[in-house]
Amino acid sequence: MAPWPDGVGRRVLAEVDSTNAEAARLAPDLSGPTWVLGLRQTAGRGRRGRAWQSAEGNFAATLVMRVPDGPAFAAQRSFVAALALQDALAEATRRPEAIRLKWPNDVLLNGAKVAGILLESSGQGGTPGPLCVGIGVNLAQEPDAGTLEPDALAPTSVLSATGIRITPEEFLDLLAPAFATWETRLTTYGFDPLRRAFLDHAAKLGEVITARTAKDSLTGTFTDIDADGALVLTGAKGRVVLPAADIFF
């Protein structure tokens, strides 16, 4: 296990409404990047305001950090988080071949959703505010599939998929160093190494998928992720670049 990263804080809370909300509240008084881990989360949320169910024993944490380069660069931390989750889950389960990354913000274990990522930020007058990188992992339990949207990917948990028990605190000890490693690669070498690493582990690369935006639904072959992190589909309309979408298999 890698050591805890230098200069990164750690707060473990017995209960919290949302780790992203708590991280945002703490941000003005923090001197550096800090992980906020909630052992019980009562009002977790996912992308586009969806509820995120966080059962007892699951992982709910947020890294709050300053990203001075603007929204486009802040969004690249979704890739940092995904690759860190890949590494942490591989170390926890010893099954790296079972883990895949689903663009833009989910992680799969044996083809089912085990983790999700939510980035939130606020700022004023064009000045970027603190970035909250929220991460939820089904360590002990997966949500009831009947409570999910009809076309949602089937959920799983580390315990049910592998029989391995790991506590939220133990998982944070794996995730924080992995995140720090990928963050250093991003700030040192730029986005391309992360893009290539993500593609190495991307779910359904080279296969036909459906991408839904707020206005449209497109089906095509997942061919690439571009230099800005956008999804590239090739289909009846030719090459289509999608900066944001939900994708379905």
* pTM of the complete model: 0.93
Q: Residue 50 has what pLDDT?
A: 56
Q: Residue 68 has what pLDDT?
A: 78
Q: Residue 124 has what pLDDT?
A: 56
Mean pLDDT score of the chain, rounded to an integer?
A: 92
Q: Which residue in 158, 164, 61 sits closest to 109, CA to CA?
A: 158
Q: Which residue in 208, 197, 66 sits closest to 128, CA to CA?
A: 66
Q: Residue 144 has what pLDDT?
A: 79
What residues does each domain of the chain span? 9-200, 208-248
Contact 113, 212 (CB under 8 A): no
Structure tokens at 248: 């379905």
CATH topology agreement for domains 9-200 and 208-248: no
Give pLDDT < 50 ranges for the chain: none
**Under CATH, to which class is 208-248 assigned?**
mainly beta
Distance, in Å, from the CA atom of 242 to the CA atom of 230, rounded to the nearest integer, reads 5
The continuous run of DSSP H or E covering 199 comes out as: helix 192-200
**Architecture category of domain 9-200 in CATH:** 2-Layer Sandwich (3.30)
